[in-house]
Amino acid sequence: MSDVLLHVSNLTAELGNGERPLRVCDGIDFSIRRGETLALLGESGCGKSMTALTLMRLLPLSGRIVGGSVQLDDSELLSLPEREMRGVRGGRMAMIFQEPQTSLNPVLKVGDQIAEAVRLHKPASNAQGASPPLLKRRLFSGEAEVAERVVELLRAVGIPDPARRAGEFPHQLSGGMKQRVMIAMALAGDPELLIADEPTTALDVTIQAQVLQLLKGLQAQTGMAVLLITHDLGVVAETADRLAVMYAGQIVEQASVDAFFAAPAHPYSRKLMESVPSASKRRGELAVIPGRVPPLDQPFTGCRFADRCSQVMPACREAPIAWFQPNLEQSVRCLLWAEGPARLQRASAAVGVVESSASSLRLETATAPRSATGLESEAEALDAARLDAASALSRSAAAPEGHALLATDGLEVHFPIQRGLFRSTVGHLKAVDGVDLRLQAGQTLALVGESGCGKTTVGKAILRLEPPTGGTVRYNGVDLAAIRAGQMRRYRKDLQIIFQDPFASMNPRMLVGDIVGEGLQSLGLEKGRAARRRRVAMLLEQVGIGEQAMERYPHEFSGGQRQRICIARALAVDPKLIVCDEPTSALDVSVQAQILNLLKRLQDELGLSYLFITHDISVVAYLAHEVAVMYLGRIVEQGTAAEVLDAPRHPYTQALLSAVPMMDKAERRQIIRLEGDMPSPAAPPTGCHFHPRCPQAIADCALAYPQPVQLSKTQSARCLRIEV
């Protein structure tokens, strides 16, 4: 028996019929050894998930496998009859999906759903761990045995009190718990290969850390191989052994994780890594990849990345690119490596040049005659050109002293919980429960926390989109929480918001020009239609979209472009403060870099203040001047970005930061594993909200909520265990 478990060669699949089918994977080759984790990395739209579905032969109805072979051990999966393939799915190969919420049937108990998988896939003998014959399965003799196995599986995935949980419905479980149940179902058939399609993308970092750790542990126990599909470089670095980078339906680089992170070979991989924000990149702007992933319905001749590549050569466009091996552990589809290490030297030298004179090179790419990429690449050029002036300004703006533009004091948003026939209020959901924030003019305050901690509600309460139920929101000395709704209109101009999902934040029925001009019209800032159009054109130019966008509908733009339009809409009324509610979390990392660059540039040019709501620590490190960490409706720690991120004092902050997957091994911390999930804000724990999960909790923690401890002039935390 060979070491290789799954061998995929030249796998090609198409979606859709007609003249231009989408070639979602095109000549995919890779293999996975037993017990190994292979990560499939790439931006959205590159065909990662489709590759996984093709392996399982689960393509959507319009899809079909055109050629290639998939060998699991000795059996060729593509030629198996559907009957036998059903046995392989969930049996020898199992899959878990991104959205645990939608992968479980909400009307069946989780135990029953796992039991179904157990009954289907229990092999006759699992004595030697050898792969059993495909068709020889037997049903369990008794239900008791099945139930036992279900509990065993739930225990294996680390669900506390598994016997009780088996009798619960999916909605009674938290997101992390559901993902564990999904894993338990996948494990029911003792798979040799587990395909995990973005298993943690929908989860918070602390939960993500739990799930990844669980996967690693299970892998060590059972010796199964894992194909991990992800877009997160940090996750890859922490969990995978080898990785394959996918771009536009093709694998462009394969390498061991160590070799890859030491020196990514393909220009795409390199750019991808450079565009990840971090504290060390604070000074400058992030690298961006101009343009976007090309649509897959066209025939490609040369390198698919050529149009976006900064080192493109004429030869790149001429013929399909062969594989080259820069070293033993790495192979890459890039002509830069055609001449072996000699070329390599030159190439890396070239990279250096590129980095130092980023703007000139980007201008070159901007002139590439592709209209689709034109818009974005011009934007890059603009961003780059204004960088120098910008960074100078940012240093001056970073002076800590100054009057607070916005200060919240004991801000509360409580939602009444109503029950019964007469809707009597039986309690309050304390989404925000006494939040004190101070934001200086021209600065960025990052509000960090996991989903459900109330950070979005804080943003909305400041804008009075959710009415605050207590506390004050002082904007330039005026308490916005106390004034009447009519008077609030006067301050609408100064306070703006950018939302997370660029697809949902624009009315699909309106032209971009009308969307951006909406505020101008409603607040009466520009009366005439012509004047308004001029202003909108200027704004669109400012965010790098160009005025020709005015006559188009939002759906014609990509996610990054839409987010730029949303920024233009917020800028239209000339605000002083913008609440950015996770503006980049729905975007790919290279697009995220563009948006972050833009936000930074605008701050420097216009002196904007940002309240930046996010769960992404790397973005915080890159962008924020100050950080406030929120847990269950309250701020547990705040201070300057350097203080909080480098020397966190509150146990929650420490755990949160330790859970963030890091690309660089040196930066990794020992993961502080948090037990369980965040409690419901309807019934917060007594005393310190964090104490039930806190690794350092003492008895006193349950008594009263700790008062803030001033650690330095700027840093404070609310924890009993901190000694000053």
Partner 1 sequence: MPVILITDALIFLLIAVAIAFGLYAARHEHLRGPWRQVGRSPVGVAALVVIVFYVGIGLLDSLHFHPLIEPMAPADLTDQRTDQRTDQQAPTYSTQVISVLDRWLSGLRERQEKTFSAPFAIQLFVKEAIEQPDGSLIRGYPRLEYGGAHLADPAQRDLDILLRGLFGMVKGLIAWTAVMTILIALRAWHRQQSFNDSASRIWRGETKTPWRTVLITLALMLVLSFVAAELAAKYHILGTDKVGEDVFYQSLKSIRTGLVIGTLTTLVMLPAAVILGIMAGYFGGRTDDVIQYLYTTLSSIPGVLLIAAAILMLQVYMTNHADQFQSLVERADLRLLFLCIILGVTSWTGLCRLLRGESLKLREADYVQAARSLGVRHSTAIARHILPNVLHIVMITVVLDFSGLVLAEAVLSYVNIGVDPTMNSWGNMINSARLELARDPMVWWSLAAAFVFMFTLVLAANLLADVVRDAFDPRLRGAS
Q: Which residues bind partner 1 (CB under 8 A)?
A: 460, 463, 465, 488-489, 492-493, 495-497, 499-501, 504-510, 515, 518-519, 522-523, 553, 566, 569-570, 573
265 contacts 326 by C-beta, under 8 angstroms: yes
We find the least distance from the C-beta atom of residue 372 to partner 1, in angstroms, to be 20
Residue whose CB is less far from partner 1, 254 or 500: 500
The span from the CA of 409 to the CA of 480, in Å, is 12
Decide: helix, strand or coil at residue 522. helix
Among 252, 297, 301, residue whose Cα is nearest residue 15: 297
Q: Is the dihedral of CA 517, 521, 525, 528 positive or negative?
A: positive
The span from the CA of 263 to the CA of 280, in Å, is 18
At 6, give phi and psi (nearest 5°). Answer: -125, 125
We find the least distance from the C-beta atom of residue 43 to partner 1, in angstroms, to be 21
Residue whose CB is less far from partner 1, 89 or 460: 460
We find the least distance from the C-beta atom of residue 3 to partner 1, in angstroms, to be 42
Residue whose CB is less far from partner 1, 92 or 569: 569
We find the least distance from the C-beta atom of residue 456 to partner 1, in angstroms, to be 11
Neighbouring residues of 136: CB distance < 8 A, sequence distance ≥ 6:
123, 124
We find the least distance from the C-beta atom of residue 448 to partner 1, in angstroms, to be 21
| Residue that is written with structure tokens 């019964």 in the block | 420
Among 706, 702, 707, 698, residue whose Cα is nearest residue 687: 702
Q: Is the dihedral of CA 253, 259, 265, 267 positive or negative?
A: positive
Residue whose CB is less far from partner 1, 498 or 657: 498
Q: What is the largest CA-CA distance in the chain?
A: 81
The span from the CA of 619 to the CA of 448, in Å, is 10
Residue whose CB is less far from partner 1, 335 or 461: 461
Q: Is the dihedral of CA 395, 399, 402, 404 positive or negative?
A: positive
We find the least distance from the C-beta atom of residue 519 to partner 1, in angstroms, to be 4
Q: Beta strands 193-197 and 424-440: pairing type? A: unpaired
User: Which two three-digit tokens encode residue 296?
Assistant: 């897959």
Residue whose CB is less far from partner 1, 461 or 659: 461
Residue whose CB is less far from partner 1, 16 or 27: 16
We find the least distance from the C-beta atom of residue 292 to partner 1, in angstroms, to be 20
At 712, give phi and psi (nearest 5°). Answer: -150, -170
Residue whose CB is less far from partner 1, 361 or 566: 566
We find the least distance from the C-beta atom of residue 569 to partner 1, in angstroms, to be 7
| Residue that is written with structure tokens 């948006």 in the block | 595
391 contacts 284 by C-beta, under 8 angstroms: yes
We find the least distance from the C-beta atom of residue 510 to partner 1, in angstroms, to be 7
Residue whose CB is less far from partner 1, 385 or 510: 510
We find the least distance from the C-beta atom of residue 497 to partner 1, in angstroms, to be 5
We find the least distance from the C-beta atom of residue 454 to partner 1, in angstroms, to be 16
The span from the CA of 118 to the CA of 264, in Å, is 42
We find the least distance from the C-beta atom of residue 494 to partner 1, in angstroms, to be 11
Amino acid at 403: H
CA end-to-end span of the chain = 62
Distances in whole angstroms, Cα of residue 441 to Cα of each of 405, 444, 493, 619: 5, 9, 16, 20
Residue whose CB is less far from partner 1, 584 or 715: 584
Residue whose CB is less far from partner 1, 41 or 570: 570
Among 133, 538, 593, 537, residue whose Cα is nearest residue 387: 593
Neighbouring residues of 576: CB distance < 8 A, sequence distance ≥ 6:
405, 441, 494, 495, 608, 609
Residue whose CB is less far from partner 1, 189 or 554: 554
The span from the CA of 611 to the CA of 437, in Å, is 10
| Residue that is written with structure tokens 């207590």 in the block | 470
Residue whose CB is less far from partner 1, 510 or 642: 510
For residue 14, what are the β-bridge partners? 23, 64
Q: How many residues does the chain have?
A: 724
Residue whose CB is less far from partner 1, 300 or 553: 553
Residue whose CB is less far from partner 1, 33 or 493: 493
Neighbouring residues of 484: CB distance < 8 A, sequence distance ≥ 6:
none
With b for 16 or more beta-carbon neighbours within 10 A and e for fewer, the 681-693 pattern comes to: beebeebbbbbbb
Residue whose CB is less far from partner 1, 105 or 522: 522
We find the least distance from the C-beta atom of residue 523 to partner 1, in angstroms, to be 5
The span from the CA of 89 to the CA of 112, in Å, is 19
DSSP 130: P
Neighbouring residues of 539: CB distance < 8 A, sequence distance ≥ 6:
516, 568, 571, 572
We find the least distance from the C-beta atom of residue 45 to partner 1, in angstroms, to be 16
We find the least distance from the C-beta atom of residue 176 to partner 1, in angstroms, to be 25
We find the least distance from the C-beta atom of residue 579 to partner 1, in angstroms, to be 8
We find the least distance from the C-beta atom of residue 64 to partner 1, in angstroms, to be 17
The span from the CA of 342 to the CA of 418, in Å, is 72
* 3-class SS shares of the chain: helix, strand, coil, % to 5: 40, 20, 40
225 contacts 193 by C-beta, under 8 angstroms: yes
Q: How many helices (H) and strands (E) does the chain have?
A: 24, 24
Residue whose CB is less far from partner 1, 138 or 527: 527
